[in-house]
A = this chain, B = another copy of it.
Amino acid sequence: MTIPMKPIGFVRTDAVQIPRHWTLSQIEGLLVVDKKYLEGLKDIKSGHRIVVIFHFHESPPFTREHLVQESSHRRQKLGVFSICSPIRPNPLGMSVLEVLESSENVIRVKGLDMIDGTPILDIKPLVEDKHSCSNYQENRCTGELFHGMD
C-alpha cells in the first residue's frame, strides 16, 4: 500500500546554517507555492502562524538501525517516534512558521528549519486548542466534519 504525495511548492532561503528545529529558528525565507493553488492561499495573512508539512528530501533511506537514534546534541538514544530526526519511516517534517507577508503565490515566513529546495506537501492553520478555535482568530479553526462531507 503506497500513498503518493506531490509537492505543492518549495522552500526558498539563502540561509545555509539551518537550526535543527523551528522553535530555535529566526531564519526567514519564502514558501513558493504552485500557482494553480493560488486561490487556496487567499486567507493566509501577515501575523498568522501556519503549520507546514514537508518532505525531508535529502534523508537517506530508513533502515532498522534508525529505529533508535542518538542525537548529535544530547547523549541519549531515543526511539525515532520520540525525536524530530529527518531519518524516519516516512520522511515527513512539520514546522510552525510565522507569516511575515503573503502575496500572490509566495508566503514570506520566519522560523524556517528547512533547507532551500525542500518540497512542501501541505499548509494548515495552527489550531492549538479549542479556546483558540472559538476566541482567538476565527479562520484558524474552520474545518469540515472529517470523513462526513455530505
Q: Type the 1/0 row for A44-59, where 1 means its CB is closer than 8 Å to any CB of B.
A: 1000001101011111
Integer count of this chain's copies in the complex: 2
A83 CB to closest chain B CB (Å) equals 4
Q: A24-64: which residues lie under 8 A (CB-CB) from chain B?
A: 24, 36-44, 50-51, 53, 55-60, 64
Interface size class on chain A is: 35 or more
> What chain B residues lie within 8 Å of A89 (beta carbons)?
6, 8, 37, 40, 122
Q: A131-147: which residues lie under 8 A (CB-CB) from chain B?
A: 132-133, 138-147
Q: Type the 1/0 row for A1-29, where 1 means its CB is closer than 8 Å to any CB of B.
A: 11111111000000000111101100000
Q: A61-88: which residues lie under 8 A (CB-CB) from chain B?
A: 64, 67-69, 71-74, 76, 78-88
